[in-house]
Structure formats: C-alpha cells, structure tokens
C-alpha cells in the first residue's frame, strides 16, 4: 500500500507530499522492525492504512516535523490496535 492515493484527497504542497511519503515509509519500517503482528501479511494492509491516515491527519493539523510524525503514527498504531 502507498500513502499517495490517500494524499490525492488532501491539499498539500508537492514538497510536503514528498516528506509525508518518506514519513510513511519510515514509520512502516519501524513497525516491521518491531516484530509486531501488525506487520504480518494478515494485518499489513490495514495497519499501513491506519498509519497513512494518522500521518495525514497530523499533517493537516499542522505538524511538519518528520520525527514527530513517525513517532506519533507508530505510537498511535500500537496503542490503538496492538
């Protein structure tokens, strides 16, 4: 899954979209490296969609710090679905 289809529904500058794609990829890598069951093929698509939506939501609220976006999204996924 890619975050790009979800970003097409938002009004972000091209530079912000590029940053959000990178944030999503980094956040997903953290989930995979954690060994979480959410990274398994069974949950992967849903977990990626949740991550992507959370990243977009926080960016819409004005957050632009990549590290905070990654940490927030991963923490949100773990708190809400693990």
Q: Is 8 within the bounds of a domain?
A: no
Q: Is 49 within the bounds of a domain?
A: yes
DSSP letters for 12-78: --HHHHHHHHHHHHHHHHHHHHHT-GGGSTTTHHHHHHHHHHHHHHHHHTT---HHHHHHHHHHHHH
pLDDT at 3: 79
Domain around 34? 14-81
Q: How many domains does the chain have?
A: 1
Q: Is 7 within the bounds of a domain?
A: no
Percent of the chain with pLDDT over 70: 96
Q: Is 42 within the bounds of a domain?
A: yes
Q: Is 33 within the bounds of a domain?
A: yes
Q: Is 6 within the bounds of a domain?
A: no
Residue 12 has pLDDT above 90, yes or no: no
The pTM of this model reads 0.89
The rounded mean pLDDT for the chain is 92
Q: Is 23 within the bounds of a domain?
A: yes
Residue 10 has pLDDT above 90, yes or no: no
Q: Between residues 78 and 4, which one has the greater pLDDT?
A: 78
The band of 29, judged by pLDDT with boundaries at 50, 70 and 90, is: very high
Q: Is 25 within the bounds of a domain?
A: yes
Mean pLDDT computed over 67-81: 95
């Amino acid at each position: 899954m890619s975050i790009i289809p979800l970003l097409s529904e938002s009004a972000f500058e091209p530079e912000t979209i590029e940053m959000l794609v990178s944030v999503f990829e980094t956040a997903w890598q953290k989930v995979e490296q954690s060994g979480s069951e959410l990274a398994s093929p069974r949950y992967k698509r849903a977990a990626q969609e949740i991550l992507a939506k959370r990243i977009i939501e926080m960016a819409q609220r004005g957050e632009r710090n990549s590290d905070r976006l990654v940490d927030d999204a991963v923490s949100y996924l773990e708190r809400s679905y693990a």
